[in-house]
């Protein structure tokens, strides 16, 4: 049986725009991986009547309702009471949960539990309790009239912990089918060209299915299969993944990998090579992404954010005559930056980024979106010139960062560095 879900986020702060509704995004991604279709997102303030109206609507069109927020101890945290009234389920005090909340205060807050936190231990009668090891608000799930209701806390870290600890296993138990997915990660083709290439294949696929998901500066293809067993689902997925990756060629940078930088990290470590970065228009984004990975010190020597032309000359050793002749946003400068950072750090590879990120052209009139990526290696220095168009500044920086990592990935994989089209 297939399930449909609605996510109801509760909180005035969401309606006011002071807090982003990241919980709905994470829940939708998790449910998609379970094969549960999320057709509606609803946001409602801390108002019992409006929440009741949202619940009455949701139960008419979805058989799974997930709520986030409104489980705190304050007077306006009325989500549990409103939901229980709507579904005719009484609230009862769970003594073991109350003791867990007391212990949390004692160990983490170093104070006695305030009396108003007692209400957090009141949960629907007969529910499945989701404990909260990182907060005081437990979650829960119950079924009434064919609808499964899951109540989760609002703070994102608490919700995320509960999602992986309890919600995903609970929802898996609602279906006799096994649902498996593989993510084919790509860089170099936008979502529209990707969809156009694969339209005929995607339109006729049901099980397994194939769908595109645009991420910042890249595209993820998710292949999903439903079967009686995990082995059966895997057998259905394997030929699809193999066919799609072969068709797309080297724009595919991995299957079930989290990011371009993680692939670069793995390849550098496997080949026992080190990397250094010299960045201008990206302001250190490439370095930030690499150093966010645990163990990055094994492969990353360091970097220079050479925003001023004088820093390019004085720190990276870019010849002043070269800068005078070609400017900071140029292929010769990018090559010299990569060679300079490789030299001063002693790294095996040096990657550089220089460009005009906007909102205005540079002092020489180089248009917004012109970027040069260079990679200095023991075999020589390569350069990828880019025209990223007149985009937002942050989008140009994100794209340029991805191109820098893609250049490293391609070199380490024995692929052409200076081009990136399908082939």
Local structure of residue 367 (DSSP, 8 states): P
Q: What angle do CA 148, 154, 156 make, to 5 degrees?
A: 110
Cross-strand pairs, 142: 149
Instruction: Report whether pLDDT(421) > 50.
Output: no
| Domain 260-412 CATH assignment equals 3.90.950.20 | yes
pLDDT, tens digit, 9 for 90 and up, residues 190-218:
878 888 888 888 888 888 988 888 876 78
Mean pLDDT rounded to a whole number for the chain: 92
Q: DSSP for 217-275, please give it.
A: TEEEEEEEEEESSHHHHHHHHHHHHHHHHHHHGGGEEEES-S-HHHHHHHHHHHTT--E
- Name 354's bridge partners: 372
- Tell me the residue length of the chain: 423
Cα distances from 284 to residues 104, 215, 260, 341, 386, in angstroms, run 40, 21, 16, 13, 19
Q: What is 4-172's CATH number, 3.40.50.300, 3.40.50.10160, 3.90.226.10, 3.40.980.10?
A: 3.40.980.10
From residue 266, give the alpha-carbon distance in Å to each of 244, 257, 348.
23, 11, 15
Write b or e for each residue in 221-256: b if 16 or more Cβ atoms lie within 10 A of its Cβ, otherwise e: bbbbbbbeeeeebeebbeebbeebbeebebbbbbee
On the question of pLDDT at 119 being above 90, the answer is no
- Concatenate the DSSP letters of all residues of 109-125 into one string: I-SPPPGGGGGGGEEET
Does the pLDDT value for residue 58 go beyond 50? yes
Class of residue 322 by CB neighbours under 10 A (exposed 0-12, middle 13-18, buried 19+): middle
Q: Please give the Cα distance from 242 to 81 (Å, whole number).
A: 51
The residue ranking higher by pLDDT, 296 or 229, is 296
pLDDT band at 76 (very low <50, low <70, confident <90, very high): low
Lowest mean pLDDT among 78-87, 104-113, 127-136, 179-188: 104-113
* Residue 351: φ, ψ to 5°: -115, 140
Work out the pLDDT band at 422, boundaries 50, 70, 90. Answer: very low
Residue 101 neighbours by CB distance under 10 Å = 21
For residues 198 and 1, which has the higher predicted lDDT (pLDDT)?
A: 198
275 close to 304: Cβ distance less than 8 angstroms: no
pLDDT at residue 195, rounded to an integer? 80
Q: Where do the domains of the chain lie?
A: 4-172, 178-255, 260-412
* pLDDT over 90 at 86, yes or no: yes
Provide the 10 A C-beta neighbour count for residue 48: 16
Residue 273 binned pLDDT confidence (cut-offs 50, 70, 90): very high
Q: Please give, one letter per residue, the 3-state secondary structure of 176-226.
A: CCEEEEEEEEECCCCHHHHHHHHHHHHHCCCCCEEEEEEECCEEEEEEEEE
* pLDDT exceeds cutoff 70 at 331: yes
* Chain segment 22-46, per-residue pLDDT in tens: 999 999 989 987 878 899 999 999 9
* Average confidence (pLDDT) over 66-83: 86
The alpha carbon dihedral of 323, 328, 332, 335 has a sign of positive
Q: Smallest Cα–Cα separation from 70: which of 62, 79, 61?
A: 79
Tens of pLDDT, residues 365-420: 999 999 999 999 999 999 999 999 989 999 999 999 999 999 999 999 999 987 65
Distance CA 227, CA 154 (A): 34
**178-255: CATH number:** 3.30.70.2860
37 bridge partner residues: 4
The whole-number pLDDT of residue 419 equals: 64
Smallest Cα–Cα separation from 70: which of 56, 84, 58?
84
pTM check: above 0.85: no
Strand order in the sheet with 178-186: 209-215, 218-227, 178-186, 252-255
2 pLDDT band, cuts 50/70/90, is confident
Q: So what's the pLDDT on residue 411?
A: 98
Structure tokens at 178: 């096994």
CB 318 within 8 A of CB 339: no
Give the model's confidence band at 423: pLDDT under 50 very low, under 70 low, under 90 confident, else very high: very low
Average pLDDT value for residue range 77-91:
92
Say whether 338 sits in a helix, a strand or coil.
Answer: helix
| Contact (CB, 8 A) for 347 and 301 | yes
Which helix (H) or strand (E) covers residue 42, if one does? strand 37-44
- Cα 338 from Cα 408, distance rounded (Å): 12
Does the pLDDT of residue 113 top 90, yes or no?
Answer: no
Flag whether pLDDT at 61 surpasses 80. yes
The confidence score (pLDDT) of residue 211 equals: 85
Confidence of residue 178 (pLDDT cuts 50, 70, 90): confident
């Amino acid at each position: 049986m297939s399930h449909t879900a609605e996510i109801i986020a509760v909180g005035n702060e969401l309606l006011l725009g002071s807090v982003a509704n990241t919980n709905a995004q994470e829940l939708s991604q998790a449910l998609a991986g379970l094969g549960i279709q999320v057709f509606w997102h609803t946001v409602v303030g801390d108002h019992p009547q409006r929440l009741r109206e949202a619940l009455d609507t949701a139960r008419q069109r979805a058989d799974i309702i997930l709520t986030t927020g409104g489980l705190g101890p304050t007077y306006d945290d009325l989500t549990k009471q409103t939901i229980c009234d709507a579904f005719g389920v009484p609230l009862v005090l769970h003594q073991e949960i109350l003791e867990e909340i007391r212990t949390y205060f004692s160990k983490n807050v170093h104070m006695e539990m305030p009396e108003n936190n007692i209400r957090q231990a009141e949960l629907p009668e007969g529910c499945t309790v989701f404990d909260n090891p990182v907060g005081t608000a437990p979650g829960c799930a119950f079924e009434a009239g064919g609808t499964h209701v899951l109540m989760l806390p609002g703070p994102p870290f608490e919700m995320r912990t509960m999602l992986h600890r309890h919600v995903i296993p609970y929802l898996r138990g609602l279906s006799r089918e096994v649902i498996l997915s593989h993510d084919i990660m790509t860089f170099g083709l936008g979502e529209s060209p990707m969809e156009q290439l694969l339209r005929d294949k995607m339109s006729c696929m049901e099980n397994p299915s194939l769908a595109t998901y645009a991420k910042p500066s890249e595209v993820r293809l998710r292949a999903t299969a439903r079967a009686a067993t995990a082995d059966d689902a895997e057998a259905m997925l394997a030929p699809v993944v193999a066919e799609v990756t072969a068709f797309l060629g080297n724009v595919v940078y991995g299957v079930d990998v989290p990011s371009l930088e993680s692939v670069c990290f793995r390849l550098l470590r496997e080949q026992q090579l080190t990397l250094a970065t010299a960045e201008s228009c990206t302001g250190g984004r490439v370095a930030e992404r690499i150093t966010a990975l645990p163990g990055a010190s094994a492969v990353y020597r360091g970097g220079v954010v050479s925003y001023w032309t004088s820093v390019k000359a004085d720190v990276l050793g870019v010849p002043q005559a070269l800068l005078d002749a070609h400017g900071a946003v140029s292929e010769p400068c990018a090559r010299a930056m990569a060679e300079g950072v490789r030299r001063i750090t002693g790294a095996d590879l040096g990657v550089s980024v220089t460009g005009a990120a906007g909102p205005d052209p540079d002092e020489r009139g180089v248009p917004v979106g012109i970027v040069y990526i260079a990679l200095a290696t023991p075999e020589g220095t390569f350069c990828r010139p880019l025209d990223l168009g007149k985009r937002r500044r942050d989008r140009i920086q994100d794209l340029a960062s991805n191109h820098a990592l893609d250049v490293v990935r391609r070199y380490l994989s024995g692929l052409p560095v200076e081009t990136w089209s399908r082939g």
